[in-house]
Amino acid sequence: MTSAHRIWKLHKYSSIALIPLIIYLLIIILRFSSLSYEQILIEISGAWSIFFILIFTILGIFHMNTGINEIIDDYIHDPKIYKIFKFLISSFFTGISLFVCLSILMILL
Amino acid sequence: MNSPLSPHLQIYRWQTTSLLSILHRISGVVSSLGSVVIIIYLLSIGLGEDTFNFVISLSDNLLIRTLLIGLTFCTFFYLASSARHLLWDYGYCLDLNVAKMTGWAALSFAVFFTIFFWLKLYGVI
């Protein structure tokens, strides 16, 4: 199995796992809209919520990263622009990971 | 960098299936960028009640609300379209007419659930 084939398979597996997680996220957003700040804070600092956020972040970032890199590989052929986009994408996802960790720490402390 | 070039979009004849395929990619990219909204929401919870209320009040701005509705649509479309792509990967619904039909179904799903989601969010239903 080539590296590209393995990444494609993992991308597909991550999309299978993300479908119920995204549906759950949308349900949570609807539920939180009727709660007060204190209630949201209690709910979100629970073990299940933290576990959900972490799993969602790991799978989501993997899925988004492989998907966007595939688009870049398909449509950007200039080596310089290609490198710039690759750098921007990796910076974006590194930033997202850091901010999620920071948010969890601030919620828990 | 030696991968084959994708079809040149400017000389490509538009078809329902290709349009939906492009929309699938665009909605995926928009949903990815939209993850920033979730991060802002999470951060605001961590920063305290005042910041949280301020962030929530931003959604009253017409421009921000329109962007959020667009983001919701992209998320629902990407969700349905991904399920469609998964069916193809397992060899189902590959017939051209069925592919067109499932494409329109994904689009209808996104429109319906975007409206439903926002009506529910505002307590209308």
Closest CB to B86 among A16, A68, A99: A16
Taking contacts as CB-CB distances below 8 angstroms, the residues of chain A near B35 are: 60, 64, 96
The answer to whether B98 and B104 have CB atoms below 8 angstroms apart is no
Could you give the CA distance from residue A76 to residue A83 in angstroms, rounded to a whole number? 10
What crossing angle do the helices spanning B62-89 and A3-32 adopt, rounded to 10°? 140
Closest CB to A26 among B5, B29, B117: B117
CB atoms within 10 A of CB B26: 14
Rounded CA Rg of chain B: 18
Average pLDDT for chain A? 94
CB contact under 8 A, B35 and A75: no
SS3 A64: helix
The pLDDT assigned to B27 comes to: 97
* Eight-state DSSP code of residue B15: -
> Does any CB of chain B come closer than 8 Å to the CB of residue A62?
no
The pLDDT assigned to B125 comes to: 85
Taking contacts as CB-CB distances below 8 angstroms, the residues of chain A near B89 are: 12
- Region B100-123: mean pLDDT is 96
> Does any CB of chain A come closer than 8 Å to the CB of residue B52?
yes
Among A58-67, A73-82, B12-21, which is the least confidently predicted range? B12-21
CB contact under 8 A, A22 and B25: no
Q: Label residue A54 by pLDDT band (50, 70, 90).
A: very high
Could you give the CA distance from residue B4 to residue B33 in angstroms, rounded to a whole number? 27
Average pLDDT for chain B? 92
ipTM of the complex model: 0.91
Q: Label residue A3 by pLDDT band (50, 70, 90).
A: confident
Q: Label residue B5 by pLDDT band (50, 70, 90).
A: low
Residue, of B2 and B97, whose pLDDT is higher: B97
The pLDDT assigned to A65 comes to: 95
The pLDDT assigned to A80 comes to: 97
How distant is the Cα of B69 from the closest Cα of chain A, in angstroms? 13
Residue A11 in this model has a pLDDT that exceeds 60: yes
- A16-48: pLDDT as tens digits: 999 999 999 999 999 999 999 999 999 999 999
Taking contacts as CB-CB distances below 8 angstroms, the residues of chain A near B83 are: 19
- Region A40-67: mean pLDDT is 96
Structure tokens at A79: 């080596």
Q: Label residue B87 by pLDDT band (50, 70, 90).
A: very high
CB contact under 8 A, B28 and A64: yes
CB atoms within 10 A of CB B53: 11
Structure tokens at B79: 């969700």
Select from A95, A101, A17, A9 the least CA-distant residue to A60. Answer: A17
The answer to whether A104 and B39 have CB atoms below 8 angstroms apart is no
Could you give the CA distance from residue B5 to residue A76 in angstroms, rounded to a whole number? 9
